[in-house]
Amino acid sequence: MNLTQQARPGAGPSRTALVRAAQRGDERAFRALVADIQQRLWQVARRLAGDDDRAADLVQESLMRAFRALPRLRDPERFMSWLLRILNHVATDTLGARQPESLEDLAEAGIEPMASELEGPEARAEAAGTAEAIDRALAAMPMIYRQPLVLRHVLDLTYDDLAQILDLPLGTVKTRLFRGREMLREHLLREGIRP
């Protein structure tokens, strides 16, 4: 399910209903919203920030800003796009154009491999190495290319959703995705990984 879509009928209150309740001051509704989305937000923040501690800080700050601004949200059905926009603003404000000090520092902050537990040790080691190389490449690229790549490939968002979240024209989003993918590909090739 795309992150910006609503919950299935019969699966409890819809996200829109929870947002409306939270806008009226229902803290339980806001906690339910957070429980529903926190892991996905953390995944995006982790890829944007490059390490667990900074990712947790980004998510916490984003949720605090969202809670304070929630009564002003005009379209509760666009809650996820709105929240992702907040996360991207927080990431830009916090991380800015700051670049990592060294690729070795980033290698220590790699994420868990995505290899299946059923795969052998060689496949898991290769997947771990690739995941770490991707993390290093993302952390080394400017935020303007990192944000659309992470949102597109971690959350599988559409180009239109990206344009709305990043508050950019669709053509600019496509250009930044293209350039970001090229940077990622070049970085992986330099590390001897065939994308």
Number of independent structural domains in the chain = 2
Least confident range from 7-11, 39-43, 87-91, 104-108: namely 104-108
Phi-psi region of 96 (alpha: psi -120 to 50; beta: other; left: phi over 0): left
Residue with tokens 């996905």: 40
From the centroid of its chain, how far is CA 67?
19
Whether 84 and 122 share a structural domain:
no
Whether 58 and 145 share a structural domain:
no
**N residues, the chain:** 195
Whether 129 and 174 share a structural domain:
yes
Return the pLDDT at 116.
40
What range defines the domain where residue 44 resides? 1-96
Q: Is residue 52 part of a domain?
A: yes
Whether 76 and 144 share a structural domain:
no
Check whether 99 has a pLDDT greater than 80. Answer: no
Whether 56 and 132 share a structural domain:
no
CATH, residue 50: 1.10.1740.10
Q: What is the pLDDT confidence band of residue 113, given thresholds at 50, 70 and 90?
A: very low
State phi, psi for 5 to the nearest 5 degrees.
-85, 160
Question: Which one, of 173, 153, 144, lies nearest residue 44 by Cα?
Answer: 153
Q: Is residue 101 part of a domain?
A: no
pTM: 0.66
pLDDT digits (tens, 9 = 90+) for 29-85: 999 999 988 888 988 898 888 888 888 999 999 999 999 999 999 999 989 889 988
Buried b (16+ CB within 10 A) or exposed e, 68-79: eebeebeebbbb
Whether 86 and 16 share a structural domain:
yes
